[in-house]
Amino acid sequence: MEKPRAVLVIATLDTKGTEARYLLDCFEESGTPVLVLDAGILGESPFPATITREQVACAGGMSLTEVRSLGHEGEALSVMIAGATRYAQELHGEGRISGITCLGGSMGTTLGTGVMRTLPIGFPKVMISTMASRNTRPFVGTKDILMLHAVCDLAGLNRITRKILRNGATAMAGMVRGQATSSLPTKPLVVLSTLGTTETCSQTIRRSLETEGKEVVVFHTVGSGGEAMEELIHEEEVEAVVDLSLHEVLDGLFGGDYDAGPNRGSSALRKGIPTIIVPGNTDFLVTGPLALAEQRFPGRVYHVHNAAITCIRSEPREVEAVAKRIAEMCNEAKGPVKILVPTGGFSAFDRVGGPFHDPTATRLFGASLKKYLKKTVPVAALPYHINDPEFAKAILDSLEQVSGKAC
């Protein structure tokens, strides 16, 4: 009988030894085997680790003595993250681990999630953290990391920490058991981007593609969503892409909050994946509360989406810049691509009676796109709003044309 794979538990045993020991006891009660990696630096471990701190430091490129002599906790932590990452990736590559769990405060969370972000989506990751009630994007990034808020400091065992640590171990044990019954997908994969303001179109496309036997992965373009989308396209076998929501490109150019990085929109084109490009939601940038929007983007047209999110109407220079960027990406495409421009409006806000409706901006986008786009790249301006059913049908028809397959 095949030996069950273990959960890798990462902890700084000099500062979190008692808590880690209790976590291991919880895993033992559930019958879940573990391997322990000690990333502590200064103190002593209260019990032996499977992978010692000396081994971790060496894997990170320094001796433990050298790490201790750095005199800077951030630099020392970077070495230990590098070493822990190397061990985690080797264990995963050898099929010896089935999940990864870490516990800690700000430094421990930086350590644990730094390792977790290097492991693939679907591989169970649980971070028990005092930082989980804050902005977690720097820790989670684009990966499926389950962050469990510790509520109180992970300093000793008490009625709170015992409950939280046990829940973390139980959650991981359940995910590990669930992996054994999961099956690999076999349907062709289509990637689709959207935001709430293009959701009507997105739903029509998704339902149609699923009816035709496709597996559709939809990404919410809030910055991290676009980053994750580009990573998945780079790593997975993708049949086609419908990039319906490209405002992250605009935010990246002009400082909006939903910036997905400089590679947004380029992965599918570089890989030669059949792609439909739509300038959805490029009629606005996104930032925080209205007071912040007025400070960062003064004198603009605003739409308060909710108390935390304000949308700002894109100006002519921004419209031209995003059209130029889209054209540049498509000019470098290594596979079939087609651009569809809904001249009736780019989002739910950009329709007759909507807060951002501006036909001149739509015309400017089309003219700018034509100015910078190679004549070999097909583009169609269609007399529909982006959420009209006729526009969704045009996307599906065009997708069939560029991919050479029925959709």
Is it true that 6-179 and 189-403 share their CATH fold? yes
- How many other CB atoms sit within 10 Å of the CB of residue 23? 27
- CA-based nearest residue to 242, from 206, 207, 288: 206
Interval 122-152: pLDDT, tens: 899 999 999 999 888 889 988 999 999 999 9
Tokens representing 288 are: 């925080």
Reduced 3-state DSSP string for 204-237? HHHHHHHHCCCEEEEEECCCHHHHHHHHHHHHCC
CATH code: domain 189-403 is 3.40.50.12030
SS3 279: strand
Interval 39-97: pLDDT, tens: 999 888 899 999 999 999 999 999 999 999 998 888 999 999 999 999 999 999 999 99
Which strand (E) or helix (H) includes residue 177?
Answer: helix 159-179
Residue recorded with tokens 């804050």: 134
Tokens representing 391 are: 């526009």
User: So what's the architecture of 6-179 in CATH?
Assistant: 3-Layer(aba) Sandwich (3.40)
**pLDDT value, residue 407:** 42
**pLDDT value, residue 43:** 83
- How many other CB atoms sit within 10 Å of the CB of residue 122? 11
**pLDDT value, residue 135:** 86
Q: Give dist(CA 28, CA 23) in Å, integer.
A: 9
**pLDDT value, residue 33:** 95
- The CA-to-CA distance between both ends of the chain, in Å, stands at 44
Interval 151-204: pLDDT, tens: 998 988 898 999 999 999 999 999 998 876 656 667 899 999 999 999 999 999
Give the Cα-Cα-Cα angle 141, 234, 221 (nearest 5 degrees).
Answer: 50
Tokens representing 249 are: 């490109």
pLDDT band of residue 1 (cuts 50, 70, 90) is very low
Evaluate whether 379 touches 342 at the Cβ level (below 8 Å): no
pLDDT band of residue 238 (cuts 50, 70, 90) is very high
pLDDT band of residue 364 (cuts 50, 70, 90) is very high
Q: How many helices (DSSP H) and strands (DSSP E) are in the chain?
A: 15, 14
According to DSSP, the β-strands at 34-38 and 302-306 are: unpaired
- Does the pTM exceed 0.85? no
Question: In Å, how far are 155, 293, 304 from 387, measured between CA atoms?
Answer: 53, 27, 21
Mean pLDDT (whole number) for 294-311: 94
Phi-psi region of 54 (alpha: psi -120 to 50; beta: other; left: phi over 0): alpha
Domain ranges of the chain: 6-179, 189-403
Question: What b/e sequence results for 371-390 when a residue is b if at least 16 CB atoms lie within 10 Å of its CB, and e otherwise?
Answer: eebeeebebebbebbbbbee
According to DSSP, the β-strands at 240-245 and 284-287 are: unpaired
Residue 405 pLDDT more than 60?
A: no
SS3 266: coil
Q: Give dist(CA 129, CA 110) in Å, integer.
A: 10
Tokens representing 15 are: 């500062």
Tokens representing 21 are: 């020991």
